[in-house]
Structures are given as C-alpha cells and as structure tokens.
C-alpha cells in the first residue's frame, strides 16, 4: 500500500486519527500556506484560512473516497476556503471580489510581512487585475510549478483550458508591465 493510502486509512481510524493528522499537517502545511497566501495576501488572514482548511479536512476525511490524490483534495479545499473568505470580506466591504483584491494589493506596501521590491509589487498588482480563475492558474503554474494534470484535478478544469488560461494570464501581465514600467 502506498504511503498516502496508509495515511488515509489511519486518518479514518479513531485510534490513529490524531497522530496521523499531525503527520498530515506537517507534510502539507507549507505548500498549503503559500497557496493560500498568494490568494489572500496577508499573513493573518492566511493563518485563519489555513486553520479552516485543516478543520474541513479533519471533519470530512471520512467522506474522502480517494478518487483524487489527498494532496489535490486538500488543495481544492484550501482554494475554496480562501475564495470564500475573500468573498465574505468583499461582501462586508460592499464590493466585489475583483475590486477587493486590487484594494488589498495596495496594502502590501505597508505590510510587515511583505518585503518584495518594486517589480514584485507590480507583479502582484498585475495578478490582482486578472479574472479570479486566471489568478489561480497563474499562481499555481508560475510560482508553485504545479503540473497541469494536478491543476486539472484541483480546479476540475481540463488541461487544455488550463494551458489556454495560463497563456492569457501571462500575456496580460506582460502587457501590464509594458504599460506601467
């Protein structure tokens, strides 16, 4: 049996659940953190969303059927949690998620936990202007170097559509740089 399958069996067993859950967090915490961070941008909100993600994972692990990789399933939960977090915040602020994202990028300059240079800040501004799905695809491919097959599993979108989406995202970002720099 593969390591992941063993871990899933242990996660579903009440006797080994707690210990294996620690292993699960230990294995995936960093990747999930950075995935969420690139969506919600600041550390405190990322910490909240990461906690919610692991709570959902723990709560629904019994219903995990193994149709996708555990990692993909967790990535999908993290993505949904992050987007739903932003949607709630945007609604509370009386705006849509797109405009809200662009406003949040402007807070990065004053953020203690952002030390990027001008180009990196401009890149975040350019990403924030992309449609939500293209933002996800760009972040996952450009920064995380995820395979299209894995992205397809996580985002439930065909590989072809993802490639097209990434291509459009790159073009738009390059155009943004051309206009801004």
- Burial classification of residue 112, based on how many CB atoms lie within 10 Å of its CB (0-12 exposed, 13-18 middle, 19 or more buried): exposed
Among candidate residues 110, 85, 79, the one with its CA nearest the CA of residue 97: 85
Nearer to other proteins, 1 or 181 (CB): 181
User: What would the DSSP string read from start to end of 149-162?
Assistant: HHHHHHHT--HHHH
Among candidate residues 120, 38, 138, the one with its CA nearest the CA of residue 86: 38
CA distance 11 to 58: 8
115 binds other proteins (CB under 8 A): yes
CA distance 141 to 147: 7
Residue 45: CB minimum distance to other proteins, A: 12
116 binds other proteins (CB under 8 A): yes
Which of 18, 106, 149, 156 is close enough to bind other proteins by CB under 8 A? 18
- Binding footprint of other proteins, residue count (CB under 8 A): 41
114 binds other proteins (CB under 8 A): yes
Residue 73: CB minimum distance to other proteins, A: 17
Question: Which residues lie below 8 Å from residue 108, measured CB to CB, with a gap of 6+?
Answer: 41, 114, 116, 121, 124
Q: If phi over 0 gives left and psi between -120 and 50 gives alpha, with beta otherwise, what is residue 68?
A: beta
Find the part of the chain contacting other proteins (CB under 8 A) among 69-77, 98-106, 120-128, 159-167. Answer: 120-128
29 binds other proteins (CB under 8 A): yes
Which of 7, 11, 39, 50 is close enough to bind other proteins by CB under 8 A? 50
64 binds other proteins (CB under 8 A): no
113 binds other proteins (CB under 8 A): yes
CA distance 78 to 32: 7
63 binds other proteins (CB under 8 A): no
Q: Which residues of the chain form contacts with other proteins (CB under 8 A)? A: 14, 18, 21-22, 25-26, 29-30, 33-34, 37-38, 41, 43, 50-51, 54-55, 58-59, 108, 113-117, 119-121, 123-124, 142-143, 145, 170, 173-175, 177-178, 181
């Amino acid at each position: 049996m593969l390591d992941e399958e063993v871990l899933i069996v242990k996660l579903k067993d009440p006797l080994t659940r707690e210990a294996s859950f620690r292993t699960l967090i230990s294995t995936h915490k960093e990747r999930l953190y950075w995935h969420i961070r690139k969506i919600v941008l600041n550390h405190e909100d990322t910490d909240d969303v990461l906690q919610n993600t692991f709570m959902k994972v723990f709560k629904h692990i019994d219903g995990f059927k193994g149709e996708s990789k555990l990692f993909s399933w967790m990535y999908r939960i993290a993505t949904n949690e992050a987007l739903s977090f932003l949607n709630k915040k945007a609604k509370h602020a009386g705006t849509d998620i797109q405009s809200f994202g662009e406003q949040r990028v402007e807070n990065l300059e004053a953020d203690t936990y952002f030390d990027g240079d001008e180009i990196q800040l401009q890149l975040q501004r350019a990403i924030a202007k992309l449609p939500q799905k293209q933002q996800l695809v760009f972040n996952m491919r450009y920064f995380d170097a995820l395979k299209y097959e894995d992205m397809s599993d996580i985002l439930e979108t065909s590989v072809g559509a993802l490639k097209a989406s990434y291509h459009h995202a790159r073009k738009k970002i390059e155009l943004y740089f051309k206009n801004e720099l």
